[in-house]
Structure formats: structure tokens, C-alpha cells
Structure 1
């Protein structure tokens, strides 16, 4: 398994999934246009080696396919991701084992925690070059301006590290920064996120909040930072559980924080509570420009460390598919065992990429009593922090393939009476970037019970579903070659034929 960005890029190149571009390219709009076309076609990662005005190459579309996201975990297929989720579920909500086999599994999980403990690197590669004070210049980085209406260049895929001023417990997350000057940037985060809480506590104590942003890290660390964690479980430990080995950390030069020792670039700075600047507009994952904010927290960088020959990795947001949507598909698989642990009746769940990877969810349940679909929906909304912002939850029977939109729409249209089966919860905390809500940060949720109804949900007897006659189906199977159709493999239907993946 790769331990840093450069090792992962080498692996992609060996597998024919990396294309080097030596022609001069402009980070203002041009690179994003090229990368977006590759994203839409499932193309390879790109390494731009001649970025105008920059002193280093730029990697993009690194996690632009589900296959490459799986490779970052050291896996070959999405199905293997649930095994990671099974391991994490034991730690997310541990329960006393009821039999010996469960005790063994718990013991294995705890041993994995021990192996995942971070290591410290006294001479980290990320400190090979150290720039301080006026030497810090964000213009040296090949920062992108993605859309013509963007107010400025942005930094994405950076691991932002902050620390709770009271407990000293660190938080690692991925947030969009917008460059304001050679050594300042505004940050966009939700008020419920860890850094926002840390900044409020720092303000109460009359202190500045120390911040480090690690750029060009092992992609696995980005996925770990995007995963909702159990209380007080470090993202570094989580990343170690993903990879099976501890993350090498290094102390920053000027702030009391730790970052991955194999980072390509590290920015160190502070946020002074109350010091803000204008942020945006900027293209957002919803598919629109995020609004201009007059009071975005301002980050002042006073130190930049890097490798001798660093590579800057980035991505950009927008209407799916984008790299964040590919990461969400993988995390969906990992979340599934955690969700089953908390809501046992849920058989499977799916966050469609077209639903912005979190705005709409489809759950399948093993229905056994009336009202169970509503219970599952309510439990889903509270199971993990990011599900708070899921607008639509559709609950179907376990017989429905939730990843096939044809089956889901059949269930909705054949099993739902809107007056009975649609329930709306008004005035919930919401994503302020969602323009569909009447008030910023406050919106409604809708649940749809698309399960087969049982008494007393309905007084009408439910008719049997239409299914092929099994004897006739077996006869046709035996005679398929006799019909002259042996060369047709109906499992290999082009998924684009119907506009979506039917498998």
C-alpha cells in the first residue's frame, strides 16, 4: 500500500491510470476544464508538469474513479470496503460479546488499534525546505481558479489540523480555502465542524487558534478525514486502521500541531477570533456558486514547509461526477456496517451520486411491523453527523435493489400513497449552501415509505408481485442455445444504454 502521494501516483502510472502533461497550461480555468472532461469520461489521473507561474507540478483527478479510490485503501473492488466498515463498526459502538467468536473479533479489532497508533518522525521529508515570514507566498503553489465566476484561487484536498483549546484533542478535516493575499486565505466550514467549535473556544479564552494545512498527502488520509468518527477517536488512528499501520507524524515548526510527515507541503498559521474577510463566490458541490460571505474566518500563514521536489494535489467541486462524489461512493460502503450496527433493521443503504452523495438516501429494510419504515428513516437521520443534512430518505423492502433506480422508482410509484406514506419534518438545521431552503441554514426533510403496507397501515389486501413462472424460466435457460441466442450475454448490457448502471 502506498504511504504517500508520490508512491500512489507511481502506482497509478504503473497501472496505466496516470497521464503526464508536459505542455504549458494555465491554472486559471484551463486545468479545471481539462480535468473535468476526464472526470466525466472516467479517464486517468493527470500530472501537469508545466503549470504557468508555479514552481511545482500539479496532480488532479487522482481519485476520479471508484476503482482508484479502492486502490488508495489497498483494495481491488468496492465490495471489499464493507470489511473495513465491519471493523470500524466494532469500535464505533462497542457491545459486550455474547459468544467466543465475537470476543475474538473484538480482540482483533483492538489489536488493530494498537498497530494503528501514529509514529513520530524526527526528520520528516515535509521539512526539507522551510520558508518563514515574508518568504511564505501562496503564489508559488499552482492554485486553481475553477469557474469564471469564482472570486479567486482555491485550495482543496488539504488536511486542516486544529486542536481543542481545552482538551487539546486535535481535529482533522478537509475544507475549502480561498486565497486572499500571498499569505492569507479565508476558510469555508459549517458551524458544527470541529474547527468552528475550536475557534469559538479560542475566542472565549482570548487566544488565537493555531492551524496547519497539509497538502499533497496519501489519499487514504483524505478519506479518513472525511469519515465521521466516534467521539474522541483520532483521525490519525482511524487512518491507521484503514491502512493497517500507523501514520508517520511530524511536529510543525511554528505551531503546536502534528501533520503527516510525508506531506508534500505544509502551511502553518493562526486565525485571530473576529478577524474576517470576504469569501466567495466560489463554485460549490451543489452545482451552483456558493454565495459571497462577508465574515469568513481569515487564516494568516507565517510558515510553509515542503519537500525538495513537491507535487501539489488538488480537486474541485461542482455538479457530480467530481472526485468528492467518487470518494463518497466508497465511504458509503464503509458506512453500511456502522449504520446496521446502530439501526439493525436496515439491510442496505445507498447515497446516489446524482443526489449529491448525501442529499438523498435509499434504505432497504426487512419489514416486520407497521411504522417500521418511518422508524428507520428517523434513526438514519440521527445515526451519523452528515446524515443530518440528508433531505430525502426513501425506504424500500429488502427485495428491492437500491442501486437500481428502475426498481426504486417502481417501489415508489406502486407502493406509495402520498397522503399516507410521505412525511415531512420542517425547520431542521441545514446546509447553508443549499439554495432550495427558504432560510439559510434551516430546511425540511422528507421521508417516503415505499415498503409493502401491512395492517393497520392499510385495510386493503396487498396483491402478489408478478414474477416469472420458475418452470418456464428453467426451460428457457436449458434451450437458450437452441434458440440461437448463445452469443448474447444478457449480464453484459451496456450500462449507458438506459442512462445509468443497471447492474
Structure 2
């Protein structure tokens, strides 16, 4: 796969989804303010060509709509993401084929894996220009500061690449980096993430941890890095599966690490275990400023980049943001994988308005009492990122989980709080969640909003109200005859029902 960031920018421009800003714009606050307004309106991607204080242009909001995320993955319909998820699910938990057709299908998947293996580029574009000490100055990069109380400038869409010193297996993560000096940055990662795990192993062996940061890659590689996969699988392989062909990698100039050969920038450095500096406060995805935390320091000694490089960035905050659009796409990819691990789950949804992971809505094909509670408990342990899901709402399969009106109806009509709400207290939790009484520990709530069956209840449940099938068919056939053909029944004006939706509301 030879596509790079520039190919994607060309695609967006061809589809009139990219605006070039030629007037001077400050990466300190101004750039994020412009982008934030466009994100709320579902507006186009931006390329700032005249950045104050830096010679490099800045691309932002490339993944600001679900449509553009799908384009990045060579798809036009979000439902195609579930097909991809089915393929990934079979790779994560392969089962011996029982029929010839299953064997052929699995053979096709294995062929896709072979095609997805990365290749080595001996003359990588990312190393067309090499800068080392004493000429290295990270302040020349157009790092943004999104919010007034942010402690400093940040890097957000860099692929942070490390390697397990025992197994040699690399990890590719997306972590926030904060500028500390002309040659150092702190990295903010949770203790469960791959980079943090590699640092602990390096510390145990008394070694420094090598770190490469690749900035400005094709968004498809960003999607692969954001996908939760088993620790013994490679994000590079997943990127190849996403793109239908192996990506090109290059050996770093000074490190024993590989990076995407088409990257716009590559930073090379090391972390000395135990060396930390205060990181934050910084605006976070929860919609608040995060706290100040002592975080590992990366000492950079080499910067390479393409000729005329383009810097890619984004920022966190209350949805809608680019990270929320990425999460919506990943939600579709997770669905088949989750069904494979928890068979009773028909569908699940992580609403963007709930920060794309704080609340999950699950539909099940209920067959026995207590099944909703079992499904909720299984969900929390199915994938690592679900550990931090605070609320799980379980509904019947007939409920459209992407329609908030149906979900609220199910909760209101099927839940007795004394029976159907259960809480798990003092569980490991997201340190960025200020609602928790103790930082790092928090409770979880499960809500069983399914129809109750004995012995969950000792009285019969009422029959749901439905139309007469024959009358409904006749009305459909005569709709034009009634003179109502100009009314779009799929569009609901909420104000006519006495309430008003925020224009940025996107639960769908």
C-alpha cells in the first residue's frame, strides 16, 4: 500500500471536502477555535498553508465526519466496516473450518494476511531531510495549543512506536505529547497501554526505551493504530488488512525501530526509566482540563522528514471531535468481534455524546432470565477499552439502539430500578474521569431494559402495541392517494413534540 497523507488530501480536495487557508493563522488557540466550529457543523477538512511561527503547513479535521473516516478506509458505506470486523474477528479467534465453503473463506482471509504483510523501503521519503543535534529544535514544528489553560503545545496524531525488549514485538499507539524543551517532550499514556508496558520491561532490564514518533501518515494507518488488538499481533499487519495491501516501512536512522516510509515527519529518541516531568493540564476528551501528572520524558536526538512536509494534527474535547468520528467507525468494526466473544449480543453502540466509550447500549436476543446481566458483565471484559465503560444498557433486539427515543422508552417502560439496576463499586477506572470519588477507582452501572420473563417477574408482561398488518399495508399503498406523498416520514421535527435537540446532536 503506497498511499500516503498527500493521496488522502488529494481525494478530499477532489470531493470538495478540503479548504485551503492561505492567510496567516496562529497555532496557539486560533487554529483550534476555527476547527472547533467546523467540527460542530460537520464542515470540511482544513489545510493551513501560512502558519505563524513555523515553515510547515498544517492539516486538521481530516477525519471530522464518519463519511471521511470511511473514505480513509477505502469504503463508502459504514456497514462495510462490519464486514471488515468479521474478517478481523476470524483472525483473532480462528476456528477450524467444518465445510468446504468455510475452508475457502478462511483461505481467502489467509491470502489477505499474506498480502497485508509490510515491506521494507530502502529509500524512504520520510528520510529525505535529516536533522540532528545541535540543529534539532522541536519548536520549529507547528505544535498547537488548543485551549487557554493548556500547559503547553502538544502533538496529538503522532504514531508512538516502541518495542518489547523481550519479544521484539512493536507497539504502535496514539498518545498525547507535550513540548518541554527544544529537544524533549513528555508522553501521556495510561498504564495499561503498550508503550507503558514496554517502558516497565525496559526498566526491569536497566535499559532505555527507544521511541519513534511518526507524524503525517495516511489516516488508514491511524485507524489501525487506534484498533484494540492482541499484544502479539502487529498494527502494521492490521493497516495492511485495512488497506488491502502491505504498508511500506523504513528502518529509523538511529533506532532499531521501523516507521511508515511515507510519513511526513519522524522523531527519534529514548526514554530513561524513572525520568519524569509534570505533564498538563491539558484539555481532554471528557470536556475538562486534565490534571497535572508526572509523565515519562522523551529525549529526541534526530528528526527526519519529507521535502516540503505537511504536519497533521487534531485535538481532544467534548464531542463532536475527530476522535469521536474514529470511535464511531471502530464501533462498527468491533461489533462482529464482540458478537464472537459474547454470542448473545445482536448489536451494540457507543454514543458519541457519551464520549464514545463511557456508555454502551447493547441489544440481545433474550432467551433466559438473567441474560441481560450476563451480557453486561461479559461486555466489560470483552476488550481492554471497555474496562472504562461506566454505563451498560441492555435492551431487546427489537429496539433500534441508535435511536435515543427508543432507548429511553425501553428504560422508562421496562426498568424497575430496585430490580434491574446493578452497580459494581471500586473497580479500576479512567484517571481522567473526575466524577469518580477516588481517581483511578470508580463504579459501573448495568441497566437491564429488556422485557422481563419468569422468575425475573411473577406477573405477565403486557402485549406491545402494534398496527394491524393488513391495514398498515393498505395505508402504505394508498399514501400517495391521500395526498401525503410530499411528507418525508423519516424526518422528525423534534420541536413539534415539545422539545428541542442541540444542532450538534449526532446520535445515529
Query: What TM bracket, shorter-length normalisation?
Result: over 0.9
Q: Secondary structure at the match of 1:283?
A: coil
Q: Distance in 2 between matches of 1:47 and 1:156?
A: 16
Is 1:356 equivalent to 2:360 in the alignment? no
Q: Distance in 2 between matches of 1:496 and 1:34?
A: 29
Is 1:229 equivalent to 2:226 in the alignment? no
Q: Secondary structure at the match of 1:272?
A: strand
In structure 1, the residue matched to 2:336 is 337
Q: Distance in 2 between matches of 1:135 and 1:367?
A: 64
Deviations 1:339-391 (CA, angstroms, capped at 9, x unpaired):
01111110000000001000100000000000100111111111111001101
In structure 2, the residue matched to 1:477 is 476
Equivalent pair of 1:320/1:353 in contact (CA under 8 Å): yes
In structure 1, the residue matched to 2:36 is 36
- Of the structure 1 ranges 483-492 and 131-140, higher mean CA displacement relative to structure 2 is found in 483-492
Between the two proteins, the alignment pairs up a number of residues equal to: 502
In structure 1, the residue matched to 2:446 is 447
In structure 2, the residue matched to 1:415 is 414
Q: Distance in 1 between matches of 2:66 and 2:36?
A: 16
- How far residue 95 of structure 1 moved from its aligned partner, in angstroms, is 1.2
Structure 1 residues 241 and 415 mapped into 2: Cα distance closer, same or farther (>3 Å)? Answer: same
In structure 2, the residue matched to 1:268 is 268
- How far residue 197 of structure 1 moved from its aligned partner, in angstroms, is 1.0
Q: Distance in 2 between matches of 1:502 and 1:248?
A: 37
Deviations 1:128-180 (CA, angstroms, capped at 9, x unpaired):
00001121111111110000000100001100000011111100000000001
Structure 1 residues 276 and 418 mapped into 2: Cα distance closer, same or farther (>3 Å)? Answer: same
- How far residue 493 of structure 1 moved from its aligned partner, in angstroms, is 4.5
In structure 1, the residue matched to 2:65 is 65
Structure 1 residues 260 and 494 mapped into 2: Cα distance closer, same or farther (>3 Å)? Answer: farther
In structure 1, the residue matched to 2:142 is 142
Deviations 1:52-89 (CA, angstroms, capped at 9, x unpaired):
01011000000000000000000011111111101101
Deviations 1:82-130 (CA, angstroms, capped at 9, x unpaired):
1110110101111122222222221111111111000000000000000
- How far residue 267 of structure 1 moved from its aligned partner, in angstroms, is 0.3
Q: Distance in 2 between matches of 1:429 and 1:111?
A: 40
Residue pairs, 1:375-414, within 5 angstroms: 375-414=374-413
Q: Distance in 2 between matches of 1:453 and 1:175?
A: 43
CA RMSD of aligned residues (A): 1.4
Q: Distance in 1 between matches of 2:14 and 2:492?
A: 30
TM-score normalised by length of structure 2? 0.97
- How far residue 40 of structure 1 moved from its aligned partner, in angstroms, is 0.4
Q: Distance in 1 between matches of 2:84 and 2:248?
A: 21
- How far residue 196 of structure 1 moved from its aligned partner, in angstroms, is 0.7
Residue pairs, 1:275-354, within 5 angstroms: 275-293=275-293, 295-354=294-353
Q: Secondary structure at the match of 2:134?
A: helix
- Of the structure 1 ranges 95-104 and 63-72, higher mean CA displacement relative to structure 2 is found in 95-104
Q: Distance in 2 between matches of 1:56 and 1:335?
A: 36
Q: Distance in 2 between matches of 1:122 and 1:435?
A: 48
Equivalent pair of 1:495/1:501 in contact (CA under 8 Å): no
In structure 1, the residue matched to 2:462 is 463
Equivalent pair of 1:404/1:501 in contact (CA under 8 Å): no
Q: Distance in 2 between matches of 1:469 and 1:122?
A: 69
Deviations 1:475-495 (CA, angstroms, capped at 9, x unpaired):
322322222211122124468
Q: Distance in 2 between matches of 1:56 and 1:138?
A: 12
Deviations 1:322-344 (CA, angstroms, capped at 9, x unpaired):
00000000000000000011111
Is 1:4 equivalent to 2:1 in the alignment? no
TM-score normalised by length of structure 1? 0.98
Equivalent pair of 1:5/1:218 in contact (CA under 8 Å): yes
Q: Distance in 1 between matches of 2:77 and 2:2?
A: 17
Equivalent pair of 2:369/2:453 in contact (CA under 8 Å): yes
Equivalent pair of 1:495/1:502 in contact (CA under 8 Å): no
Structure 1 residues 94 and 221 mapped into 2: Cα distance closer, same or farther (>3 Å)? Answer: same
Q: Distance in 2 between matches of 1:502 and 1:183?
A: 42
Deviations 1:14-62 (CA, angstroms, capped at 9, x unpaired):
0000000000000110000000000000000000000001011000000
Structure 1 residues 62 and 502 mapped into 2: Cα distance closer, same or farther (>3 Å)? Answer: closer
Q: Secondary structure at the match of 2:490?
A: helix
Deviations 1:190-241 (CA, angstroms, capped at 9, x unpaired):
0011111111111111111000000000100111001011241100001101
Equivalent pair of 1:183/1:300 in contact (CA under 8 Å): yes
Deviations 1:231-290 (CA, angstroms, capped at 9, x unpaired):
411000011011110010000001110000000000000000111111100000010000
Is 1:116 equivalent to 2:116 in the alignment? yes
In structure 2, the residue matched to 1:131 is 131
